Amino acid sequence: MMNERIKELWEQAAKTTQGDSWDEQTQFMERFAELIVRECMRMCEVTEMSFVTHDCDIEASGAITVKQFIAEHFGVED
């Protein structure tokens, strides 16, 4: 079962890509996947801010490194 955030991302992808053709379905799938990857990157930023707030600079740096690895791995520009 999808959680609410995934449903929101699904709906966001559906708004920008509609139609029944294979090309349109592929565009939807690509957009949905990109939104999930961007959400993961955003969570790295949230984690970084939490670490910064608690004076954990090494951990904060690690969160940003993970964000960069995710972006590179999936080919999503920051």
Each residue's pLDDT expressed in tens, for the chain with a length of 78 residues: 669 999 999 999 998 877 778 888 899 999 999 999 999 999 999 999 999 999 999 999 999 999 999 999 999 987
Instruction: Give the per-residue pLDDT at 1.
Output: 63
pTM: 0.85
The pLDDT assigned to 18 comes to 76
User: Whole-angstrom Cα distance, residue 64 to residue 25?
Assistant: 32
What is residue 3's predicted lDDT score, i.e. its pLDDT?
92
Predicted confidence at residue 24, as pLDDT, reads 86
The two three-digit tokens of residue 68, written as one number: 């960069």
DSSP 8-state code for residue 18:
-
